Amino acid sequence: MTLEVSVRGLDVPEDVRSRLTADDVAARLARKDATLWGPDAESEAAIRLGWLDLPSSSRSLVEQLAELRDELRSEGLDRVVLCGMGGSSLAPEVICRTAGVPLVVLDTTDPGQVAAAVTELERTVVVVSSKSGGTVETDSHRRIFESAFAAVGLDASQVGARFVVVTDPGSPLADTAAAMGARAVFLADPTVGGRYSALSAFGLVPSALAGADVGPMLDEAEELAEHLAQAGNPAFELGVVLGAAAVQGRDKLALADAEPGTGTGTAIEGFGDWAEQLVAESTGKEGRGILPVVLESATAAGSTGPDTLLAVAGTDTPAASPSLAVRGPLGAQFLGWEYATAVAGRVLGINPFDQPNVTESKENTRAILDSGLPDEQPAATIGAVEVRGSSGVLDGVDLSALDGVSLALDALLSAVPEQGYLAVMAYLDRFADARAADLRSALAARTDRAVTFGWGPRFLHSTGQYHKGGPQTGAFLQITGAVADDLSIPDRPYTFGGLQAAQAGGDRKALADRKRPLLHLHLTDRTAGIGQLLAALA
């Protein structure tokens, strides 16, 4: 079998496993029984279990993609840019990092980061991936690349030949692809939801075009698939442990990559970001859920705690306790974690296939784009940090003090409820402003509560569902930054900077409507501001 799960220091209550076994959950899931999550989830589940077939049904893509990659390379098109959010880009990012092949992933509205991707056009092919075909970020990326190609003198048919599209049949993007004469259109299986689509065209097309060998990944998944009907298979065990730990109060799942060079097999890079979306969007609803906490390493701050279970996917066994080692190659990991999340969903009593609260922030964003951001004056400006809106966090805090930023962060940390978490949400450039990610460990070192970090708007398609739909125990640090050079979006009345600000504002409103503690810091100079925040936590 290609997946091995071992648990250290955690008693898994026998009743959870025996109930699932008595209900024949392993076999019923393997044969796509849509009744497993209760009557309310049944109609959705009936059209969302196609991922179980992907190890075999995706086979035909392998050769087709190898031919397309050769064709593109023969024309000098060897730089692949993937435009896609959440489930439409997270798997290719892990696949390509693990395979060591370059793929430019565009999953942001940050003007600087977008502008940096629109380069080297003479050798660029753009994969536009969106299941719904209506995601605003992805649509904006397609527009800017179309106009950039035209601006360097390509005619309409040459522009079309630079695009490869992955979408569901009948989506608006399928129509756009036909109208623009895209070089290739891959219509994906509509019975596979975004976060379960790693082994579908969404995972395979960009990865194979970038140079990853995707065939072996399907072999690895298929080997596991053959065992999924058996009770006690490793993916079932993983689901039992995740679900049982959560109902026992260990509902923070710390995720870390295996240390390079440890254990046997191939190390997987960046798996946590993919698993984060799968677990957070699938389980974070109805006031319940498992909160993934992506760590810098298996020993980073936050790897242990009274409500935490550490999981390491890849090759080694973590030293921390309690912990979970999930050993195996990437193809088996994808399928195994999807299956396990569906099992954990049954234990938690939720529908693992919908994302009911993601639309709230999207609707707020739309309203802001239509009528503008509410006028918010900073409560204080400390160096390059403007302390903007905060709900209830800063009462009594002296922002005029020399260490005002530090005091504001301390006040936010003390607003995190017991068994709660602090989510850092940075609407910045994840490459140029990469140091902002160090805020996670710096904050985690000052609290025994879980601290997560997400780049906006990418996290809105991942932990964003949990923030709004999961237990209302979060406190939130939103960071926005000055935009030096804004970028217009062709044929749209707003810019990337405007969209990014509206997304941040829309999510602030969704969290404020839930009366969650939130501190909004705006960096008037990004580099200086990030430095100031890190210094305040040192």
Ligand X SMILES: O=P(O)(O)OC[C@H]1O[C@](O)(CO)[C@@H](O)[C@@H]1O
Looking at residues 205 to 224 of the shown chain, list those that interact with ligand X (rule: CB under 6 A). none
| Interacting span for ligand X (CB under 6 A) from 19-27, 128-136, 285-293, 510-518 | 128-136
By CB under 6 A, name the one of 130, 200, 308, 447 that touches ligand X: 130
CA distance 142 to 464: 24
Crossing angle for the helix pair 330-348 and 90-99, nearest 10 degrees? 150
Least CB distance to ligand X at residue 347 (A) = 22
| Interacting span for ligand X (CB under 6 A) from 80-88, 285-293, 337-345, 405-413 | 80-88
Between 161 and 165, name the residue whose CB sits nearer to ligand X: 165
Between 314 and 454, name the residue whose CB sits nearer to ligand X: 454
Q: Which residues of 464-500 are buried (b: 16+ CB within 10 A; e: fewer)?
A: bbbbbbbbebbbbbbbbbebeeebbbeebebbbbbbb
Between 94 and 415, name the residue whose CB sits nearer to ligand X: 94
Q: How far is CA 291 from CA 214, 253, 317, 420, in A?
A: 30, 6, 22, 10
Residues in the chain: 538
Which three-class secondary structure string do you get for 296-334?
A: CCCCCCCCCCCCEEEEEEECCCCCCCCEEEEECCHHHHH
Least CB distance to ligand X at residue 301 (A) = 28
Looking at residues 336 to 395 of the shown chain, list those that interact with ligand X (rule: CB under 6 A). 355, 358
Q: Does 85 bind ligand X (CB under 6 A)?
A: yes
Least CB distance to ligand X at residue 456 (A) = 13
| Helix H or strand E encompassing 420 | none
CA distance 430 to 452: 15
Residue 11 DSSP class: P
Between 283 and 355, name the residue whose CB sits nearer to ligand X: 355
CA distance 466 to 40: 19
By CB under 6 A, name the one of 111, 112, 194, 517 that touches ligand X: 194
Which residues make beta-bridge pairs with 521?
387, 479
Look up residue 339 and give its amino acid: Y
Q: Does 327 bind ligand X (CB under 6 A)?
A: no
Least CB distance to ligand X at residue 332 (A) = 22
Look up residue 380 and give its amino acid: A
Place of tokens 């070192």: 445
Q: Does 506 bind ligand X (CB under 6 A)?
A: no
Neighbouring residues of 145: CB distance < 8 A, sequence distance ≥ 6 = 81, 83, 118, 124, 126, 162, 163
Least CB distance to ligand X at residue 343 (A) = 20
Q: How far is CA 219 from CA 4, 56, 194, 373, 447, in A?
A: 16, 9, 21, 50, 43
Q: Does 135 bind ligand X (CB under 6 A)?
A: yes
| Interacting span for ligand X (CB under 6 A) from 132-140, 176-184, 207-215, 226-234 | 132-140
Between 185 and 358, name the residue whose CB sits nearer to ligand X: 358
Between 171 and 390, name the residue whose CB sits nearer to ligand X: 171
Least CB distance to ligand X at residue 324 (A) = 25
Q: Is the separation of the CB atoms in 482 and 439 below 8 Å?
A: no
CA distance 273 to 269: 10
By CB under 6 A, name the one of 50, 86, 331, 470 that touches ligand X: 86
By CB under 6 A, name the one of 132, 248, 406, 419 that touches ligand X: 132
Q: What angle do CA 264, 268, 273 make, to 5 degrees?
A: 145
| Interacting span for ligand X (CB under 6 A) from 60-68, 83-91, 146-154, 439-447 | 83-91
Q: Does 166 bind ligand X (CB under 6 A)?
A: no
By CB under 6 A, name the one of 97, 162, 195, 440 that touches ligand X: 195
By CB under 6 A, name the one of 2, 58, 88, 532 that touches ligand X: 88
Between 25 and 90, name the residue whose CB sits nearer to ligand X: 90
Between 167 and 303, name the residue whose CB sits nearer to ligand X: 167
Neighbouring residues of 56: CB distance < 8 A, sequence distance ≥ 6 = 218, 222, 225
Q: How many residues bind ligand X (CB under 6 A)?
A: 15
Where does this chain bind ligand X (CB under 6 A)? 85-88, 130-132, 135, 138, 194-195, 281, 355, 358, 461
